[in-house]
Structure 1
């Protein structure tokens, strides 16, 4: 069952990456990592959003 879940997570990540590519965008490695943590149930959606916001704020402040 775990292997099937991992395949589904990989499929979701690839689909999101492809959708972004159509718009000329590419997710950062950090965003993919955070997304994976959310999909694996390791963090909540609120935590994922906060982590991404924190990364963005750190980049724009520099």
Structure 2
């Protein structure tokens, strides 16, 4: 299980070299992204991810 609480990475940027590696992603966003939160840590995305995790036919 990933740090986002899901079995798979919920980031939309699937081509990112940090995709699926929560620790590296969070560190990158802390140091390089001008205070932007990673996709899975943004408040508007947390609720959507929680709802989607209950559907086995949706790939996150």
Q: TM-score, normalised by structure 2?
A: 0.30
Q: Whose helix proportion is higher, 1 or 2?
A: 1
Q: Larger relative contact order (C-alpha < 8 A, sep ≥ 6)?
A: 2
